[in-house]
């Protein structure tokens, strides 16, 4: 995972779990919040991602509880998950920094008048 590019929903799921354990619905709302409403995770997509991340050892279950008769299972990042998230965040930040520095060098538009 660390050597290849991470898809945005996966990145956002890991980012949602970065500050502590969360249950499924909390992950969905957190992903929406992190992406400013741009990414809406659906339940099937969430569980597909969680199952895959569990299989890759990046996420693990962290307890469950019954709230108003509903089961809530919590998930948290593993150390490998935190490392993969940090690597991906650094990669994205490096790309963003590069893009911003290039934009600063761009000649001003509007007939070449600075």
- Note whether 26 and 79 are within 8 A (CB): no
Q: Which segment (13-21, 70-78, 80-88, 90-98) binds other proteins by CB under 8 A?
A: 70-78
For the chain, give the longest Cα–Cα distance.
Answer: 67
32 binds other proteins (CB under 8 A): no
User: In the sheet that 22-23 helps form, which strands lie side by side, from edge to edge?
Assistant: 22-23, 70-77, 59-67
The DSSP H or E segment spanning 23 is strand 22-23
22 binds other proteins (CB under 8 A): no
Q: Which segment (2-10, 69-77, 89-97, 106-114) binds other proteins by CB under 8 A?
A: 69-77
Residue 64 phi, psi (nearest 5): -150, 160
Q: Select from 12, 17, 23, 81 the one that contacts other proteins (CB under 8 A).
A: 23
Site for other proteins in 36-65 (CB under 8 A): 42-48, 51, 64
What is the residue whose two structure tokens read 């963003």? 96
Q: Which residues bind other proteins (CB under 8 A)?
A: 23-25, 28, 42-48, 51, 64, 67, 70-73
């Amino acid at each position: 995972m660390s050597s290849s590019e991470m898809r945005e929903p996966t990145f956002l799921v890991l980012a949602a779990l970065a500050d502590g354990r969360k249950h499924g619905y909390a992950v969905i709302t957190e992903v929406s919040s992190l992406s400013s409403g741009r990414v809406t995770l659906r339940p099937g997509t969430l569980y597909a991602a969680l199952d895959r991340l569990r299989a890759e050892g990046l996420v693990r279950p962290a307890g469950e509880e019954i709230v108003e008769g509903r089961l809530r299972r919590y998930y948290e990042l593993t150390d490998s998950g935190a490392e993969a998230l940090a690597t991906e965040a650094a990669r994205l930040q490096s790309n963003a920094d590069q893009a911003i520095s290039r934009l600063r060098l761009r000649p001003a538009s509007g007939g070449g008048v600075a």
